[in-house]
């Protein structure tokens, strides 16, 4: 089995100039775990979800079963060149030219925990404020947009995305994402995307088991599509280094952020 750096990584950690994540040719995605507790937590979260899905208690099993449909399928872990990687479904697999958007959800990425120092929390607070999360309830971490009419990808550096901290430019970028130049209307992409986000939001309205800080919705569609039925729109939750089970309360931070994304998407697509 041959592994290669993921061509379609839109945000997150890099290794030198290339993506830190790997893909094989069978539809699996390999994410290196960061050193120390942060990496271990993402692995633990996937394991917790897997464990809860096999539980006897039916309410937890059902709640977790639904969550799993929003996450990439989990295949365990492996060690590559001495570094532990989690193995999950490659969301881009099966697309010719995937267009991807990484939306980090929530009004804040920080939370009180024994492993989070006061410095970490105050840095996060400042960053969330600076990058617009505090005001908008989410941020655009990155976008790979296939322009079918020009036969190339449109991408920007990380600093470009960091500077979009207010409503108008964010709506403008959401509008941009839904236009691949082949004449399809934004609503052809955002209609199906909103149905999926609606299902996620309905789950958050009732579940009291899990909380998600710094978690993203990865939105993907077929950039090379010229007809609406070929778009294959997908919205999946990714990035669980600060996600936990056993909460016993609703995650209003994520739910509020998700509602805000949905409302700005409606504005962008005129729905
Ligand atoms: N399961 C997946 N399939 C395909 N691409 C993915 C998957 N998970 C993450 N990615 C890509 O990798 C990027 C970084 O992933 P993420 O889990 O957010 O890592 P980090 O912890 O470095 O932020 C995402 O923006 C997305 O482009
Ligand atoms: Mg990320």
The full DSSP string for 178-207 is T--SSS--HHHHHHHHHHHHHHHHHHHHH-
Which of 7, 9, 131, when mutated, tests ligand 1's pocket best, judged by the most ligand atoms within 8 Å of its CB? 9
Q: Give the distance (Å) from ligand 2 centre to CA of residue 104.
A: 7
Residue nearest to atom 19 of ligand 1 (CA): 12
Q: Give the distance (Å) from ligand 1 centre to CA of residue 42.
A: 12
232 Rama class: left (phi>0) / alpha (psi -120 to 50) / beta: left
The pLDDT of 197-206, averaged and rounded, is: 98
The residue ranges of every structural domain in the chain are 4-89, 98-269
Q: Cβ(218)–Cβ(102) under 8 Å?
A: yes
pLDDT value of position 161 = 95
Residue 93, pLDDT > 90, answer: yes
**Length in residues, the chain:** 271
Q: Which atom of ligand 1 is nearest to the CA of 142?
A: 25
Which of 3, 4, 10, 11, when mutated, tests ligand 1's pocket best, judged by the most ligand atoms within 8 Å of its CB? 11
Residue 167, pLDDT > 80, answer: yes
pLDDT range class, residue 36, cuts 50, 70, 90 = confident
Ligand nearest to the CA of 12: 1
Fold for the domain defined by 98-269:
D-amino Acid Aminotransferase; Chain A, domain 1 (3.30.470)
Q: Cβ(88)–Cβ(27) under 8 Å?
A: no
The pLDDT of 234-261, averaged and rounded, is: 97
pLDDT value of position 19 = 77
Residue 1, pLDDT > 90, answer: no
């Amino acid at each position: 089995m041959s592994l290669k750096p993921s061509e379609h990584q839109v945000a997150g950690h890099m290794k030198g100039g290339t993506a830190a994540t790997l893909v094989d040719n069978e539809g699996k995605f390999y994410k290196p775990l960061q050193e120390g507790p942060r990496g271990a937590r993402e692995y633990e979260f996937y394991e917790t979800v897997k464990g809860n899905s096999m539980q006897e208690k039916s309410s937890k099993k059902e709640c977790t079963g639904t969550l799993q449909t929003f996450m990439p399928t989990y295949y365990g872990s492996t060690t590559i060149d001495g570094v532990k990687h989690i193995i999950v479904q490659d969301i881009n697999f099966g697309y010719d030219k995937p267009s991807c958007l990484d939306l980090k959800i929530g009004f804040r990425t920080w939370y009180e925990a024994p492993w989070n120092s006061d410095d970490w929390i105050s840095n996060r607070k400042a960053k969330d404020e600076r990058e617009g999360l505090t005001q908008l309830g989410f941020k655009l971490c990155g976008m790979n947009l296939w322009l079918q009419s020009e036969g190339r990808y449109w991408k920007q550096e990380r600093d470009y995305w960091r500077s979009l901290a207010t409503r108008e430019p964010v709506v403008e970028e959401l509008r941009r994402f839904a236009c691949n130049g082949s004449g399809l209307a934004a609503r052809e992409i955002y209609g199906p995307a909103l149905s999926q986000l609606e299902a996620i939001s309905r789950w958050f309205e009732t579940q009291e088991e899990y909380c998600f800080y710094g978690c993203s919705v990865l939105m993907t569609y077929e950039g090379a599509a010229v007809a609406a039925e070929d778009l294959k729109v997908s919205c999946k939750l990714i990035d669980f280094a600060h996600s936990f089970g056993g909460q016993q309360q609703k995650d209003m931070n994520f739910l509020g952020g998700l509602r805000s994304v949905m409302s700005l998407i409606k504005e962008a697509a005129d729905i």
